[in-house]
């Protein structure tokens, strides 16, 4: 967390115009907190019902889904900025 959080913050700030940085950081921090809170509840429930093996497999599915969404949206933004 000590290295990842500042790197993610810098990445977030770097991807928006200067006048939108406070909105980007607000969205980033709220999403981060929401992800930690809901992730703990959801993954804890999955682990309680099915065990840790299934919980970790479920986590991988989320990671792949978010990675795919990132790829789609970053390409759309790249296409918009290059037009």
pLDDT digits (tens, 9 = 90+) for 42-52: 999 999 999 99
What are the CA-CA distances from residue 13 to residues 25, 27, 57 (Å)?
7, 11, 31
Going from the C-alpha of 10 to that of each of 4, 25, 44, 82, the distances in angstroms are 10, 10, 30, 23
Q: What angle do CA 12, 16, 8 make, to 5 degrees?
A: 5
Question: Higher pLDDT residue, 49 or 74?
Answer: 49
- What average pLDDT does the segment 17-30 reach? 93
Q: Quote helix, strand, coil % in the chain, to nearest 5.
A: 90, 0, 10
Q: Is the whole-model pTM more than 0.85?
A: no
């Amino acid at each position: 967390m000590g290295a990842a959080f500042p790197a993610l913050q810098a990445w977030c700030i770097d991807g928006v115009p200067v006048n939108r940085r406070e909105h980007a950081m607000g969205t980033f921090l709220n999403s981060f907190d929401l992800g930690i809170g809901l992730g703990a509840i959801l993954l804890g429930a999955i682990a309680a019902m099915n065990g840790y093996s299934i919980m970790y497999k479920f986590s991988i599915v989320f990671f792949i889904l978010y990675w795919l969404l990132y790829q789609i949206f970053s390409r759309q933004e790249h296409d918009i900025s290059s037009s």
